[in-house]
Amino acid sequence: MFRQILLTQWKWSGLGIVVAGVAAFALPILTVQQAGVADPTWLDALALLSAVEEWSRAYPLLALAIGLLLGTTAWSRDHRNQHVYALTLPLPRWHYVLLRYGSGLVLLAAPMVMLWFGAMLAASMASVPPGLQTYPHALALRFALAALVAFSLLFAISAGTARTAGYVLSIVGVVLVGQLLFSLAGGETNLIEPMFDRMITWPGPFDIFVGRWMLIDV
Amino acid sequence: MCEPRIRCVLVRSAAVLSVLLVVLPSGGAAQSADTYRERVQRLEQRLERLTAEQERRAEAMPPVELDTLRVGPVRLLTPIPVQSFVTAVAAQLRDSLRTSLAGDTVLLPPVNLLLRPRGPRTAARPGLDRLEVQGVHQWFYREEESRFQQADIPGPVASGLLDVIRLRTRVMLDSTLSLWLENDIAFDSLTVIQAQTAYLELAIKPWRIVRDCYEGRLDRCRDALALGRQSVITWYTADERRHVVETAREWEPRLGEDPRAQQCAVGGDDHACVAVLEAYPHVLREPLSALTRQSLLRIALQSGGTGAFGRLVRSDTLAVLDALATAAAVPADSLIARWHRAILAARPRGTVLTLGGGWTAFVWVVVLGVAAMRSTRWRIR
């Protein structure tokens, strides 16, 4: 059963996974393009750190994109076919969701592993100035966790009913409209910013995405 | 460059219109050289007339009224139309000076700064286009023109003025201290970015003395900060001296002609390296940069609290480290130790995943997975 579900999910999102895998492998190698200076000075080291920091913005975006791709495609056919296939299976709901989730995780593992290999290759290729270190394993682990969070979030939203999605959207809409009305009435309190801050700082779900994703750092 | 955009559009439109006016009456036919010359003459006369008219109008305008705002010994002179904005800037500047110097603000040398707006202020763009601090080549621009200098927000302008005041403050200090700080009397509080930059320098610089300092040898920190023994031998190892000379040969042509530089760089003769570095002291830099040295002053003033700046100014006859220790009101060794702790604590948060961060992400994965399993898609709506 798991194999069949995995195969169907691979059919739906295989091309995306391949592209994401290539991107994940290439990203660390692109990151260390400037790390080839022989006998680097400390100014070269600063320039390298700056370049690595520029590239570091791409990692959370890629993790988010992969999570988005897999989280939504996992349920797209079920939605389109009114969940008839799921209803025909002699499985409780939780079991079916677990199979879909597990298949998604297996597919997600491919770009994660590709990024890990890419990071290790990049770290071995780079000529790193003294005082700096490479962090291929930590970076790969962080990427994996971020992609997992993004996938789980999108998977949970897609698994819900239209009503649940409606509730979520309504809450967001009410907050936005409330803030707008409050601002128009002359209020200076900002409701959105603290909520956003809560989401992106510990222990918020997106804390893993923010900060420095440095393959090379002090 | 054509600036601002509206003027640019008008100039271009006028140019196109002029071409049409010239070409259409003549039916597009080529004009003779005499006609062309006459036309150019007429245009030149017109330009002269208009320029003279503009100058006459400018002379006839009443002088701009200035308001004076005082922030301790700093006088901000500003035209009345932007007075309210500059008042907000002055309030921020006052706060910054109070935080940095407390009661010692009065010790600052008198500084007069004329802030003038530049560029047209229209109904569509009521804010300041540019704000010039006259005489110091300090400009602030609107947000859309520069991400870093914003003329329409008081904070960055006040921060820029603080930089100007810091540079002017060097006249108060002993030239040794001023030179050690490379003329920037960094009396303001140490920011996170400044501390992180100092950390990076300490962590990255390849010199042995800096590595020793990073690893906690405070006597070496003192030397690296150019506060102890200052010599070619103390600062650099033999290999490093050779490297310094080798690098300097690329930009100092005199070293290319000096046989000792050749002996040092190619032959590896350390005596020659020492001789070259002593003969050309400008190629030898202190192991740690002025920015990092300034961080020590900032920490000394921060540690010293109220009256620290006054003590610094009054102890300008002492050696640099003693003057800093007097300002900080702690022994010199304690000051260096405090600086070392503060800089190492500023290590930027890296990619190394914290245990807490990793577990939190994992918990969210589980929570979201469980939420998905509790979905009720059996009922399609």
Say whether B351 and A217 touch across the interface (CB within 8 A). yes
pLDDT for the residue numbered B119: 53
- B241 exposure class (CB count in 10 Å sphere: 0-12, 13-18, 19+): buried
pLDDT for the residue numbered A23: 96
Query: Which amino acid, A108?
Result: L
pLDDT for the residue numbered A79: 79
Do residues B346 and B192 make contact, with C-beta atoms less than 8 angstroms apart? yes
Say whether B203 and A162 touch across the interface (CB within 8 A). no
Cβ partners under 8 Å of residue B89, min gap 6: B76, B115, B154, B157, B158, B161
Query: Which amino acid, B336?
Result: I
pLDDT for the residue numbered B2: 45
What tokens appear for B130 in the block? Answer: 């540019």
Do residues B180 and B312 make contact, with C-beta atoms less than 8 angstroms apart? no
B353 vs A contacts (CB less than 8 Å): 138, 141-142, 145
pLDDT for the residue numbered A202: 84
Cβ partners under 8 Å of residue A205, min gap 6: A149, A153, A199, B361, B364, B368
Chain A closest-CA separation from residue B214 CA (Å): 10
DSSP B283: G
Query: With 90 as the cut, is the pLDDT of residue A140 above it?
Result: yes
Say whether A135 and B347 touch across the interface (CB within 8 A). no
Choose from B343, B367, B375 for mutation: most chain A CBs within 10 A. B375
Per-residue b or e along B312-343, where b marks 16 or more CB atoms closer than 10 Å to that residue's CB: bbebbebbbbebbbbbbebebeebbebbbebb
pLDDT for the residue numbered B352: 64
Average pLDDT score over chain A: 87
Chain B closest-CA separation from residue A158 CA (Å): 8
pTM: 0.65
Scanning every residue of chain A, which has its alpha carbon at the shortest distance from the alpha carbon of B244? A41
Choose from A96, A105, A208 for mutation: most chain B CBs within 10 A. A208
Is the bond preceding residue B331 a cis peptide, omega within 30 degrees? no
pLDDT for the residue numbered B350: 64
Say whether A141 and B353 touch across the interface (CB within 8 A). yes
Say whether B361 and A101 touch across the interface (CB within 8 A). no
Do residues B40 and B18 make contact, with C-beta atoms less than 8 angstroms apart? no
Interface of B with A (CB under 8 A): 199-201, 203-206, 211, 214, 247, 347-353, 356-358, 360-365, 368-369, 371-381
- A106 exposure class (CB count in 10 Å sphere: 0-12, 13-18, 19+): middle
Do residues B182 and B167 make contact, with C-beta atoms less than 8 angstroms apart? no
What does the pLDDT profile of chain B (381 residues) look like in tens digits? Answer: 444 444 544 555 555 555 554 444 444 455 677 888 888 888 888 888 887 887 777 666 666 677 888 888 888 887 776 777 788 888 988 988 888 887 888 888 888 877 776 554 444 443 444 566 655 545 554 443 333 344 557 777 788 788 888 877 877 887 888 889 888 888 888 888 889 889 989 988 888 999 999 999 999 999 999 998 778 888 999 999 998 898 888 888 888 888 999 999 888 899 999 999 989 988 888 899 999 999 999 999 999 988 899 899 888 778 899 999 999 999 999 999 999 999 999 987 766 678 888 899 999 999 998 888 887 655 544
Say whether B353 and A82 touch across the interface (CB within 8 A). no
Of B234, B236, B220, B192, nearest in space to B346 by CA: B192
pLDDT for the residue numbered B206: 83
> In angstroms, rounded to a whole number, what is the distance separating the alpha carbons of residues B136 and B170?
15
> In angstroms, rounded to a whole number, what is the distance separating the alpha carbons of residues B267 and B285?
23
A213 vs B contacts (CB less than 8 Å): 351
- B9 exposure class (CB count in 10 Å sphere: 0-12, 13-18, 19+): exposed
Do residues B95 and B189 make contact, with C-beta atoms less than 8 angstroms apart? no
Chain A closest-CA separation from residue B206 CA (Å): 6
pLDDT for the residue numbered B59: 67
pLDDT for the residue numbered B84: 79
Tens digits of residue pLDDT in A44-67: 888 888 889 889 989 999 999 999
Point out the residue among B200, B369, B381 whose CB comes nearest to the CB of A218.
B200
Do residues B155 and B139 make contact, with C-beta atoms less than 8 angstroms apart? no
B363 vs A contacts (CB less than 8 Å): 203
Do residues B346 and B196 make contact, with C-beta atoms less than 8 angstroms apart? yes
Say whether B377 and A160 touch across the interface (CB within 8 A). yes
Total length of chain B:
381
What tokens appear for B197 in the block? Answer: 């930059």
Point out the residue among B351, B356, B374 whose CB comes nearest to the CB of A214.
B351
Band of residue A105 on the pLDDT scale cut at 50, 70, 90: very high
pLDDT for the residue numbered B62: 61
Rounded mean pLDDT of A15-41?
Answer: 88
> What ipTM was predicted for this assembly?
0.87
Q: CB A54: neighbour CB atoms within 10 A?
A: 11
B289 vs A contacts (CB less than 8 Å): none
pLDDT for the residue numbered A185: 80
Scanning every residue of chain A, which has its alpha carbon at the shortest distance from the alpha carbon of B367? A152
3-class state of residue B75 by DSSP: strand
Cβ partners under 8 Å of residue B88, min gap 6: B154
**More confidently predicted of B153 and A148:** A148
CA A179 to chain centre: 29
Say whether B204 and A78 touch across the interface (CB within 8 A). no
Chain A closest-CA separation from residue B351 CA (Å): 5
What tokens appear for B286 in the block? Answer: 């202190």
Say whether B204 and A132 touch across the interface (CB within 8 A). yes
Residue listed under structure tokens 């898609």: B377
